[in-house]
Amino acid sequence: MVSYIIRRLLYAIPTILGVLLITFILFNLIPGDPSYDIAGKSASAETIAEIRRELGFDKPRFLDTEALSQGRIAAAFDSQFFNHFRNTLTLNFPRSLTSHEPIWDEIKSRAPASLTLAAPMFIGLIATSIAIALVVAFARGSWVDTILVFICVVGMSIPMLSYILFGQHYLAYELGWFPILGYESGMQAFKYIALPCLLGIASGLGSYVRFYRTVMLDEMRSDYVRTAFAKGLSSPRVLFKHVLKNAMIPIITTLVLSIPFLFLGSLLLERFFSIPGMGSYFLDAFNSRDFPVINAMVFTTSLLYVLGQLVTDICYALVDPRISLR
Amino acid sequence: MSMKNPLILTPVFLLVVLFAGCGGDDQDQASGKMVRYLSLGAKVRGMDPMDIGDTTSSSVASQIFESLYQYHYLKRPYELIPCLAEDFPTGEDQLTYTFKLRPGVVFADDPCFTATQGKGRQLVAADFIYAWKRIADVKNISKNWWIFEDHIVGLDEFRDYTGRLKAGENVDYMRPVEGLQAPDDFTLVVTLKRPWPQILYLLAHLPTAPVAREAVQYYGKSIHNHPVGTGPYMLKDWKRGNKIVMVRNPRFRQEFYPVEGSPGDREAGLLEDAGKVLPFVDEARWQVVEEDQPRWLIFMRGQLDASGIPKDFYNRAIDPSRQLRSEMKDKGIRLQIFRDPSTYWYGFNMEDPVVGTNKPLRQAMSMAINRPEYVEIFTNNRAEVAQGVIPPLFKEYDPEVINPNCQYNPERARELLKEAVEVHGGPLPTITISTPGTDTLSRQMGEYVTLAMDNIGLKVKIDYMDWPSFQDRIKTKSSQVFQMGWVADYPDPENFMQLFYSKNVSPGPNNFNYRNQAFDTLYEKAKAMPDSNERRRIYHQMENIIRDDCPAIFLVHGVAFVLHYNWLKNYKPHVFGYGLIKYQRIDVAARQKSVGR
């Protein structure tokens, strides 16, 4: 297994380099120069040019061929492309162009807020949807199955924004069950994340339940389930000991691969409930073309994703004895 | 197969019960403390005056920092009064200004003042020179160099010097600048290259506030997180993207509430605190709320003292006669309506070969839009139809002028379009309008303009994009027509006229890329003149040139509607001033009675 992990980590290197290359190309393809914003609304052309120079936007994009022809190797590689690679791979992210804060400091202060919301929401969503899926699968073909599937389809059709607007207005404002918005760290956080968490679970249930229902039904039709019932095993025992265990492969896939994205936060929920998380940080960075921030976020997420894939593979081997990592 | 085990649903019930039990009020008990609750529609980027270029950051940081001048809180038209300056400057010509600083002003206590064990020191003239040199320093990438660019003797040279250095740390701030002198601690002498009558307005601008060198050296690159000013409040807590809390600065100099105001202020109760020591409020708390619905809901629950009215909630608050609805009045809410110093338009890129050379086309497009209808549909009547670029708030605005290009006249527009075809030398191509927004409102506006142009026989295509893409489009002169606006920084029409000056073409602020020799000559003349009837006449001439040349389809001037609870005392909207919380007072008992706290 160790050699498998090492091999997978080595495979990750070209993936990460590819992500960096794509990020750089996107930076250059997407229109929008942060210098205009930084210079202020009445700035002259000279001021904008000076700011571009200070930010290094006037450097050659890939290679300074003139410096190269003169034999100045270090100067030749002092380009936007190589600086982008060098800074990212050495984790030397510059400060944010808009807030001037060190990017890692911002990530460290915002990631807990995002995770405080996203982790319980994710766990709640998975637990609830698997529980409902088991019920639905167990009662397949009955009125319970029909009604729940109908509710799932309706739930999937309603946009997330509608859940938020409804929940915030009726549950928080009209009924006063929850704070309308806000966020505090520590135990106080649970008071503030309760409603967004519930809304996140409610909005995601439809699609998750349908997916897990399909997975469960596939298993329920298997020979071993029929055999188990024929042997007189109780329904809970069949469901929890046999069906759930065999359905773990697709569940693990969605579960583990979703974890890196928890880091990115939930954009809509964070905005509407004023939760200072990563979602709004990423959106603001994109809207102001804060490339250092976008780059750091994309790089970190891709690293987590690659690690998530590795963990998924390891989990496969742990839950399914037919799979071995070589 | 029937459901055998209902306990399967237990996790769902547990979650609901656990979370539902956590509801309740989300604000601390005020316990008699006078707290002002505010919201921020965007995040504060930083609190270093040098780097503040947005209204959100300004509105917060201006409670901490002060400038040489400030606007009178109550008087209208807007009037400057001394703030950190003792009086208005002296000077025999229009080139040298001598400012005397108010004695007894100290910086707020802060650990950066290591020599005095954290006790804030006296403000001196050198602090202004240091702050302005920081703006000039290229390495600082300040958003506010436009304020001083090409105005003060030697400051542009100082900027050039910083540009030649390799690293910011090497900048010598002791390097003299001829036009900035401090003969003693309380005297600041500024020498200009040429007359600059707008200087006092800009010296009331937050970025020109003095900064303590000790703070910059102590906090280094994190100075934007550690504001140390001379103002009435000090930063207590700042959770980025979430909330900001400020408390009263115990070492704030003695300042008093104004004893006179505008007609009607006394009747409105705005002079009840005349002559009292400022500030009144003990603590100011800002909550970042970027979406309309939550902001409106927390206002309606009394968790904000004042709020604008989001478009979708307008009809819930205001009746068709533009009066506050009775249920809002019953809650103790009051309405304030006031004019914004803003103008909104569809601008033409005058370097575009189609629209830039075809005046009949521009005029036709301008006449195709029914502005009163536009105001009704898109602003809930919270705007005034524009006849030019200068808004009605300015004394230079001439209410008698009717601009024929701003009148809805589709018949005349169709005739002009025929002329436009001749000028173009053939059928007109589809005109592309760049719009900085992809939201529903932007698309509705786009549909409206498309229909209006279709009505006169012109095909247009709306290109929706986000703000950075839009900026890129106009700054690189690659747009054809663009939707934009301008909110004045100070009450001088020069701030609008610079937008049409040929030396300011893109990427400068003249996004129209408009060039007119006659306009330029008048601009250069008026820019150097102090306020007078003669200057007002020149501004009228300049505006007439623009009206006739039609480099823009002038649409509307903004009118703001603001709601506030009656427990918020001394609340008078101010469109240029910042740092106004010091004048406001909270009737704590009335608030507690109203919201049950």
Per-residue pLDDT of B419-460, as tens digits, reads 999 999 999 999 999 999 888 889 999 999 999 999 999 999
DSSP lists the bridge partners of residue B569 as B585
Q: What is the ipTM of this complex?
A: 0.84
| Domain identity same for A57 and A175 | no
Tell me the residue length of chain B: 597
Could you tell me how far CA B517 lies from the centroid of its own chain? Answer: 30
The encoded tokens of residue B12 equal 């769902």
Residue A102 falls inside a structural domain: no
Whether residue A244 contacts residue A178, with contact meaning beta carbons closer than 8 Å, is answered with: no
Q: Which domain does A28 fall in, by range?
A: 2-89
From first to last of its 597 residues, what are the pLDDT tens digits of chain B?
333 333 333 343 333 334 433 333 444 444 678 999 999 998 888 999 998 988 899 999 999 999 999 999 999 999 999 999 999 998 768 899 999 999 999 999 999 999 999 999 999 999 999 999 999 999 888 889 999 999 999 999 999 999 888 776 688 999 999 999 999 999 999 999 999 999 999 999 999 999 999 999 999 989 999 999 999 999 999 998 899 999 999 999 999 999 999 999 999 999 999 999 999 999 999 999 999 999 999 999 999 999 999 988 999 999 988 899 999 999 999 999 999 999 999 999 999 999 999 999 999 999 999 999 999 999 988 999 999 999 999 999 999 999 999 999 999 999 999 999 999 999 999 999 999 988 888 999 999 999 999 999 999 999 999 888 898 899 999 999 999 999 999 999 999 999 999 999 998 899 999 999 999 999 999 999 989 999 999 999 999 999 999 999 999 999 999 999 999 999 999 999 889 999 999 999 999 888 864
Residue A326 falls inside a structural domain: no
Say if the Cβ atoms of B8 and A135 lie within 8 Å.
yes
| Domain identity same for A82 and A117 | no
Q: Which residues of B touch A45 (CB under 8 A)?
A: 505-508
Q: Give tens-digit pLDDT for B163-214.
A: 888 776 688 999 999 999 999 999 999 999 999 999 999 999 999 999 999 9
| Domain identity same for A200 and A301 | yes
CA-closest candidate to residue B286, choices B595, B576, B581: B581
Q: Give me the residue label for tokens 């250069």.
A: B524
R_g of chain B computed on alpha carbons: 27
* Structure confidence at residue A325 (pLDDT): 67
Report CA-CA distances (Å) from A166 to A159, A276, A291, A296, B566: 11, 22, 35, 35, 29
DSSP lists the bridge partners of residue B342 as B487
| Domain identity same for A22 and A143 | no
Conformation bin of residue B159: beta by default, left when phi > 0, alpha when psi is -120 to 50: alpha
* Structure confidence at residue B98 (pLDDT): 96
How many separate domains does chain A show? 2
| Domain identity same for A271 and A160 | yes
Tell me the residue length of chain A: 326
The encoded tokens of residue A255 equal 């579960």
CA-closest candidate to residue B240, choices B47, B527, B45, B435: B45
| Domain identity same for A137 and A82 | no
Distance CA A167, CA A196 (A): 8
Say if the Cβ atoms of B149 and A173 lie within 8 Å.
no
Of A39, A109, A194, the CB nearest to B240: A109
Whether residue B470 contacts residue B512, with contact meaning beta carbons closer than 8 Å, is answered with: no
Please, what is the Cα angle at B189 between B183 and B194, to 5 degrees?
Answer: 150
For chain B, the straight-line distance linking the first and the last C-alpha, in angstroms and rounded, comes to 55
> Going by C-beta distance under 8 Å and a sequence separation of 6 or more, which residues neighbour residue B490?
B198, B201, B202, B204, B205, B576
Number of neighbouring beta carbons within 10 Å of residue A223: 7
Could you tell me how far CA B196 lies from the centroid of its own chain? Answer: 22
Mutate which of B10, B58, B134, B145 to test chain A, going by most A C-beta atoms within 10 A?
A: B145
DSSP lists the bridge partners of residue B97 as B190
Q: Which residues of B touch A50 (CB under 8 A)?
A: 138, 163
> Going by C-beta distance under 8 Å and a sequence separation of 6 or more, which residues neighbour residue B103?
B86, B186
The encoded tokens of residue B1 equal 């197969």
Residue A95 falls inside a structural domain: no
CA-closest candidate to residue B88, choices A74, B80, A142, B96: B80
A1 to chain B, closest Cα gap in Å: 36
A56 touching B (Cβ < 8 Å):
no
| Domain identity same for A63 and A146 | no
Residue A267 falls inside a structural domain: yes
Domain boundary among A89, A105, A131: A89
Whether residue B278 contacts residue A153, with contact meaning beta carbons closer than 8 Å, is answered with: no
Phi and psi, residue B78, nearest 5°: -60, 135
Distance CA A306, CA B142 (A): 39
Domain boundary among A56, A89, A122: A89
Report CA-CA distances (Å) from A56 to A45, A49, B134, B163: 17, 11, 20, 13
Q: What is the 3-state secondary structure (H, E, C) of B319-382?
A: CCCCCECHHHHHCCEEEEEEECCEEEEEEECCCCCCCCCCHHHHHHHHHCCCHHHHHHHHHCCC
* Structure confidence at residue A326 (pLDDT): 67
Distance CA A250, CA A133 (A): 14
* Structure confidence at residue B320 (pLDDT): 87
A233 touching B (Cβ < 8 Å):
no
A63 to chain B, closest Cα gap in Å: 21
Residue A325 falls inside a structural domain: no
CA-closest candidate to residue A247, choices A145, A134, A323, A140: A134
Q: Give tens-digit pLDDT for B59-108.
A: 999 999 999 999 999 999 999 999 999 999 987 688 999 999 999 999 99
B19 to chain A, closest Cα gap in Å: 5
Q: What is the 3-state secondary structure (H, E, C) of A139-192?
A: CCCCHHHHHHHHHHHHHHHCCHHHHHHHHHHHHHHHCCCCCCCCCCCHHHHHHH
* Structure confidence at residue A58 (pLDDT): 85
* Structure confidence at residue B22 (pLDDT): 37
Residue A105 falls inside a structural domain: no
| Domain identity same for A24 and A159 | no
Residue A108 falls inside a structural domain: no
Residues 309-348 of B with CB under 8 A from A: none
CATH of the domain at A234: 1.10.3720.10
Q: Which residues of B touch A148 (CB under 8 A)?
A: none
| Domain identity same for A199 and A124 | yes
Say if the Cβ atoms of A191 and B24 lie within 8 Å.
yes
DSSP lists the bridge partners of residue B181 as B189
* Structure confidence at residue B49 (pLDDT): 95
Residue A131 falls inside a structural domain: yes
Domain boundary among A55, A89, A123: A89
From first to last of its 326 residues, what are the pLDDT tens digits of chain A?
778 888 888 888 888 889 888 888 888 778 778 888 888 777 888 888 888 887 888 888 888 888 888 888 888 888 888 888 888 888 888 888 888 888 888 888 888 999 999 999 999 999 999 889 888 888 888 898 899 989 999 999 999 999 999 999 999 999 999 999 999 988 889 899 999 999 999 999 999 999 888 888 888 888 888 898 888 888 888 888 888 888 887 788 777 777 777 777 688 899 999 999 988 888 888 888 888 898 888 888 888 888 888 888 888 777 777 777 66
| Domain identity same for A29 and A81 | yes
Pairing of β B187-191 and β B96-100: antiparallel
* Structure confidence at residue B12 (pLDDT): 39
| Domain identity same for A14 and A127 | no
> Going by C-beta distance under 8 Å and a sequence separation of 6 or more, which residues neighbour residue A124?
A197, A201, B11, B15
| Domain identity same for A167 and A20 | no
Residues 261-300 of A with CB under 8 A from B: 271-276, 280-281, 284, 287-289
Domains present along chain B, CATH in parentheses:
342-559 (3.10.105.10)
The encoded tokens of residue A169 equal 């207005």
